[in-house]
Amino acid sequence: MKLKNPKDFWSGVMFMAIGLAFAIVVKVFEYPMGTSSRMGPGYFPFVLGIVMTLLGVAIIIESMATQGEPVSKFAWRPLAFILGAVVIFGLIVKVAGMAASIIVLVLVSAFGGHEFKLKEVLIAGVILAVFSVLVFVYGLKLPFPIWPSFISG
């Protein structure tokens, strides 16, 4: 079967799946439902989850009746490098310090672009690192270490 409106079809699937997931979690983890006068923590999310599931089904049905564009391919390269760079930054900043982490972040994220000129990227990284240390650590006094912990001790 060929999908007539893939974008809407998959949106519907997404809403249905997430709605179901929330409703199932309420049931599996046994969040109390309570009564309508004294609603338990499970009441509102369960109802919302079911409503969203139904809405997802409605969108799927609608997608069968309408024409729409196909879902374009995922651009894995920028996706991986951008989000990867962010994750690495989050994990290393406490140990590596702000300066080094920023340079790593800039380097890795730059791989996600189309051109990569090492010299240009390095210069940008250093400028950003110096600027950030001045503004955030000295100016706004955010509690970031500047240098890697093995240097500053």
Partner 1 sequence: MEQLLSNLALGFGVALTLNNLLYCLVGCLLGTLIGVLPGIGPIATIAMLLPATFTLPPESSLIMLAGIYYGAQYGGSTTAILVNLPGESSSVVTALDGYQMARQGRAGVALSVAALGSFFAGCVATFLLAAAAPPLAQIAFKFGPAEYFSLMILGLIAAVVLAHGSVIKAIGMILLGLLLGLVGTDVNSGMARFSFGIPELTDGIGFVAIAMGVFGFAEIIKNLEQGEAREVFTNKVTSLWPTKQDIKDAFPAVLRGTFLGSLLGILPGGGAVLGSFSAYTLEKKIAKDASKFGKGDIRGVAAPESANNAAAQTSFIPLLTLGIPPNPVMALMVGAMIIQGIQPGPQVMTERPQLFWGMIVSMWIGNLMLVILNLPLIGMWIKLLKVPYRLLYPAILVFCCIGVYSLSNSPFDVLMTALFGFIGYVFVKLDCEPAPLLLGFILGPMMEENLRRAMLLSRGDPMTFVTRPLSASLLAISLLLLIIIFLPAIRKKREEAFQEE
**Under rule CB under 8 A, which residues in 43-72 are in contact with partner 1?**
43-45, 48-49, 51-52, 55-56, 58-59, 62, 71-72
Gyration radius of the chain's alpha carbons: 24
Smaller CB distance to partner 1: residue 58 or 64?
Answer: 58
| Residues 117-136 close enough to bind partner 1 by CB under 8 A | 120-121, 124-125, 128, 132, 135-136
Q: For residue 99, which phi and psi values (nearest 5 degrees)?
A: -60, -55
Query: Which residue in the set 17, 24, 64, 87 belongs to the binding site for partner 1 (CB under 8 A)?
Result: 87
* Number of shown-chain residues binding partner 1 (CB under 8 A): 71
The whole-angstrom separation of Cα 32 and Cα 97 is 45
Q: Which of 20, 25, 57, 146 binds partner 1 (CB under 8 A)?
A: 25
Instruction: Classify 97 in phi/psi space as left (phi over 0), alpha (psi -120 to 50) or beta.
Output: left
24 binds partner 1 (CB under 8 A): no
* Min CB(35)–partner 1 separation in Å: 7
Report the SS3 class of residue 1. coil
Which of residues 31, 57, 122, 147 is near partner 1 by CB under 8 A?
31
Contact of 112 with 80, CB cutoff 8 Å:
yes
Instruction: Please give the Cα distance from 143 to 7 (Å, whole number).
Output: 44
